[in-house]
Amino acid sequence: MSHDISTATHQRDPNGMVALMEKYFEWMQIRNFSGQTIAHRRVTIGKFIGWATDRGITKPNEVTKPILERYQKFLLIYRKSNGDPLSLLGQIGRLVPLRSWFKWLARSNHIAANPASELELPRLGHRLPKHILTASEAEQVINRADVQEPLGLRDRAILETFYSTGIRRMELINLCPADVDAERGTIHVRRGKGNKDRFVPIGDRAAAWVDRYARQVRPRLLVGEVSQGRLFLTHLGKPFKTDQMSALVKKYIDAAELGKTGSCHLFRHTVATLMLENGADVRFVQAMLGHAELNTTAIYTQVSIRKLKEIHTATHPAKSTRDKADGTMPNDEDEE
Catalytic choice (193, 238, 260, 307):
193
Centroid of chain to Cα 335:
50
Establish whether 268 is a catalytic residue. yes
Among candidates 63, 87, 79, which has minimal Cα distance to 3? 79
Burial label, 62 (beta-carbon count in 10 A; 0-12, 13-18, 19+): middle
Q: Which one of the listed residues 47, 168, 230, 269 is annotated catalytic? A: 168
User: 285: helix, coil or strand?
Assistant: helix
Residue among 47, 110, 230, 291 flagged as catalytic:
291
DSSP 61: G
Q: Which amino acid is at 218?
A: R
Catalytic residue among 10, 59, 265, 307: 265
Strands 186-189, 198-201: pairing kind: antiparallel
% helix / strand / coil in the chain, to the nearest 5?
Answer: 55, 5, 40
Asked about 3 being catalytic, the answer comes back as no
DSSP state of 325: T
| 144 assigned to active site | no
Q: How many CA atoms lie within 13 A of 131 on its CB side?
A: 14
Residue 94 catalytic? no
With beta carbons less than 8 A apart as the criterion, state whether 37 and 28 touch: yes
Q: How far apart are CA 204 and CA 75, in angstroms?
A: 47
The one-character DSSP state at 8 is -
Active-site choice (156, 169, 268, 269): 268
Give the active site residues.
Answer: 168, 193, 265, 268, 291, 300
